[in-house]
């Protein structure tokens, strides 16, 4: 398509830095929390996990690497004395592995409600707290349909707080329409593959392949022994069986 010289000049004029182009992702006023993976941050508005919105992460199966993916950001927040709240994870989190990721365990809260209603209530209460930095809710354990009004309440609550709000879902689960960011996590050989299914503005980028194990080892003060030994191979390194 031909663009008139006057329109082209307006688009590229330095006086219009907030002009949005259709092939750009949306610009945000609040920087995200860095994911710890530069190759993923470059595709996210705010250059990291967004705060004040719902991020939905679909996984092929629990323990595929989704917890390792979010641990660098969670660790950063706990080190800033903010709480990491985990609600209804599919396995018991493995404390030595979380510590190896830099998570301050004294700022970790584990909540294991038995029903969907209790899970959603616990998530909303945690999001309302000014001391929470990250709230993670696993909804893969239930086959119940999640009420849209409950998800809307979570989104409205998240908007009032500078907090990471993350919902983990099975890949077959229906999508949450309230989510501002939606990802799909799978495995390909030794890599964890992250596909961005939805982000605010712009086209969908190519999948990002991450070697989470080597990324952890590259961080100062971490060792493979601390993070991975004594953990069943059938679950994620940061999880242990009941």
What is the chain's Cα-based Rg?
Answer: 19
Residue 58 belongs to a domain = yes
pTM: 0.78
Tens digit of pLDDT for each residue in 65-105?
889 999 999 999 999 999 999 999 988 888 998 998 999 99
Number of domains into which the chain is organized: 1
Residue 21 belongs to a domain = no
Collapsed DSSP state (helix, strand, coil) of residue 148: helix
Which of 172, 194, 163 shows the shortest CA–CA distance to 65?
194
CATH of the domain at 193: 3.40.50.300
Tens digit of pLDDT for each residue in 106-125?
999 999 998 999 999 999 99
- Does residue 2 have a pLDDT over 60? no
Bridge partner residues of 138 (DSSP): 168
Q: Is the dihedral of CA 14, 15, 18, 20 positive or negative?
A: negative
Residue 28 belongs to a domain = no
Residue-range definition of the domain harbouring residue 218: 33-240
């Amino acid at each position: 398509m031909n663009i008139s010289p006057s329109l082209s000049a307006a688009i590229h004029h330095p006086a219009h830095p907030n002009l949005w182009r259709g092939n750009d992702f949306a610009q945000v006023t609040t920087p995200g929390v860095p994911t710890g993976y530069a190759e993923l941050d470059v595709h996210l508005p705010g250059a990291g996990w967004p705060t004040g919105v719902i991020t939905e992460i679909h996984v092929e199966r629990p323990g595929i690497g989704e917890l390792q993916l979010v641990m660098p950001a969670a660790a950063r927040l706990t080190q800033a004395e903010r709480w990491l709240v985990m609600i209804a994870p599919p396995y018991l989190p493995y404390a030595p592995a979380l510590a190896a990721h830099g998570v301050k365990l004294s700022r970790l809260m584990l909540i294991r409600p038995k029903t969907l209603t209790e899970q959603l209530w616990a998530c909303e209460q945690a999001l309302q707290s000014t001391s929470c930095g990250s709230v993670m809710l696993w909804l893969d354990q239930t086959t119940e349909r999640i009420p849209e009004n409950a998800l809307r309440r979570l989104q409205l609550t998240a908007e009032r707080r500078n907090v990471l709000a993350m919902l983990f879902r099975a890949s077959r689960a229906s999508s949450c329409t309230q989510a501002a960011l939606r990802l799909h996590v799978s495995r390909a050989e030794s890599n964890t593959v992250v596909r961005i299914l939805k982000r605010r503005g712009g086209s969908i980028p190519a999948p990002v392949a991450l070697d989470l194990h080597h990324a952890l080892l590259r961080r100062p003060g971490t060792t493979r022994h601390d993070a991975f030994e004594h953990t069943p191979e059938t679950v994620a390194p940061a999880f242990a069986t009941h």
